[in-house]
């Protein structure tokens, strides 16, 4: 039996998350009175062995753990994998029929970095962890870990969490099913957005340049294999494209969501077939449209036709990134041909967007994150310069402006 499953959004803070995980494992072992070699927790990049199917490993761990620790952050609630992990544990907890309340038995929410707001599905079950430390309440666990002066508060926090985990392990929810399909599980955090893209309507708070529409130009696994392309980088849907796998198996949209969140944007994702709808909505609400391109998509006739249509229309997209992973031998071997194919297919957009808003050969996921951050900053600046949105101060309370009085 696992004492806990640690659910978090991958990103620049991974080193701090790993430290917290290791410290918490040691503390749980101490409270439970078990040996140092006993596996008490699960962290995806720690427990999954090379060659193991990572999705099934996640399902197995969620089915077996006593507690589900959710590290709340802006990126966490934008992450579909995190929403799927939450949903699987929620189904397991509610399936036990302990009571009729919306609370999730075994859920322990931890504020890693305070999010601006909670999704409606989370608001219904959210409850605060009883922690007195003011730095944690205002800035989250991340701040306790980063600053040495918070060492005592961090150690006390660890002890409190470990005690709660060990206590909960005495009456865990019944073991869940290991036959769940992680890929087909709906994200608990995105259920309220289903149908939003089809309706053409968005909440008012997204009407001032705060939304990124990512359009993914990539084949499905079946389409890739039909052109003799390695299908392991793809899924049943274009949005499952993961160009940096298997070392970084997350779909590209997960990296894009994280960058957009860090920059203060919400984000939506769609395939090429919905590009016209995305552009129409972006024009209506002053949003940004970013095209994420797998050069192999131009080898698929249907995708090539859509890309050529895009290239002959002005102002379709705000920015474009073409990903050609350095760790993908087949892509690198075909690099000259793919570069030429992209030029023939999207050359007009390359020239219109220029070097700042068009990145033609993104090789690694760190460079993707850096390039996308720069692209989003420039796209927002251009919206401001065009007068389509105004600069606004960050949310919060501000003192009244001083009034200078002359003699």
Report the alpha-carbon distance of residue 374 to residue 362 in Å, rounded: 13
Helix (H, G, I), strand (E, B) or coil at 2: strand
pLDDT score of 38: 92
Please list, in sequence order, all residues whose beta carbon lies within 8 angstroms of the beta carbon of residue 269, skipping any fewer than 6 positions away.
214, 215, 216, 239, 253, 256
Q: Which tokens belong to 194?
A: 């289903």
Specify which residues 41 forms β-bridges with. Answer: 4
| pLDDT score of 161 | 93
Residue 314 confidence (pLDDT): 66
Q: Strands 65-72 and 319-323: what pairing? A: unpaired
Burial code of 163-175, b = ≥16 C-beta within 10 A, e = fewer? ebbbebbeebbee
Buried b / exposed e over 89-112, threshold 16 CB at 10 Å, is bbbbbbeeeeeeeeebbbbbbbbb
**Is the model's pTM score more than 0.75?**
no
Mean pLDDT by 10 residues, the chain (407 residues): 89 86 96 92 65 71 92 83 88 62 79 82 65 73 85 91 92 77 78 45 48 90 94 89 79 84 78 82 82 93 88 77 92 93 89 84 88 88 62 40 38
Tokens of 95: 């399936």
CB atoms near residue 20 (< 10 Å): 26
What is the SS3 assignment for 298-356?
A: HHCHHHHHHHHHHHCCCCCCCEEEEECCCCCHHHHHCHHHHHHHHHHHHHHHHHHHHHH
């Amino acid at each position: 039996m696992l004492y806990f499953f640690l659910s978090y959004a991958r990103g620049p803070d991974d080193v701090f998350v790993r430290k917290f995980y290791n410290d918490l494992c040691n503390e749980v072992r101490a409270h439970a009175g078990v040996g140092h070699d006993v596996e008490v927790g699960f962290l995806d990049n720690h427990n999954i062995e090379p060659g193991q199917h990572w999705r099934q490993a996640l399902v197995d761990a969620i089915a077996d753990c006593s507690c589900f620790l959710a590290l709340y952050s802006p990126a966490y609630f934008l992450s579909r994998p995190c929403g799927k992990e939450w949903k699987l544990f929620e189904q397991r907890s509610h399936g036990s029929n302990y009571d009729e309340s919306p609370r999730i038995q075994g859920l322990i929410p931890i504020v890693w970095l305070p999010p601006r707001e909670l999704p409606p599905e989370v608001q219904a079950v959210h409850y605060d962890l009883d922690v007195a430390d003011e730095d944690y309440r205002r800035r989250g666990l991340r701040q306790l870990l980063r600053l040495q002066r918070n060492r005592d508060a961090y150690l006390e926090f660890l002890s409190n969490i470990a005690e709660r985990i060990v206590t909960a392990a005495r009456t865990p929810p019944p073991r869940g099913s290991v036959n769940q399909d992680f890929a087909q599980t709906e994200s608990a955090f995105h259920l309220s957005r289903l149908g939003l893209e089809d309706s053409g309507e968005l909440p008012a708070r997204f009407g001032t340049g705060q939304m990124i529409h990512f359009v993914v130009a990539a084949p499905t696994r079946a389409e890739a294999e039909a052109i003799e392309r390695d299908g392991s980088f793809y899924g049943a849907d274009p949005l499952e494209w993961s160009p940096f796998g298997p070392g970084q198996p997350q779909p590209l949209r997960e990296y894009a969501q994280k960058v957009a969140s860090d920059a203060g944007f919400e984000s939506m994702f769609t395939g090429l077939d919905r590009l016209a709808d995305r552009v129409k909505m972006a024009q209506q609400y002053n949003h940004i449209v970013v095209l994420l391109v797998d050069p192999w998509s131009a080898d698929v006739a249907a995708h090539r036709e859509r890309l050529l249509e895009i290239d002959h229309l002005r102002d379709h997209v705000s920015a474009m990134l073409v990903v050609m992973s350095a760790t993908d031998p087949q892509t690198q071997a075909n690099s000259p041909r793919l570069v030429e194919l992209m030029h023939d297919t999207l050359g007009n957009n390359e020239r219109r967007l220029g070097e700042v808003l068009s990145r033609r050969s993104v090789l690694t996921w760190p460079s993707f994150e850096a390039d996308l951050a720069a692209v989003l900053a420039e796209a927002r600046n251009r919206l401001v310069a065009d007068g389509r949105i105004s600069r606004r101060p960050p949310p919060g309370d501000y003192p009244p402006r001083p009034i200078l009085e002359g003699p």
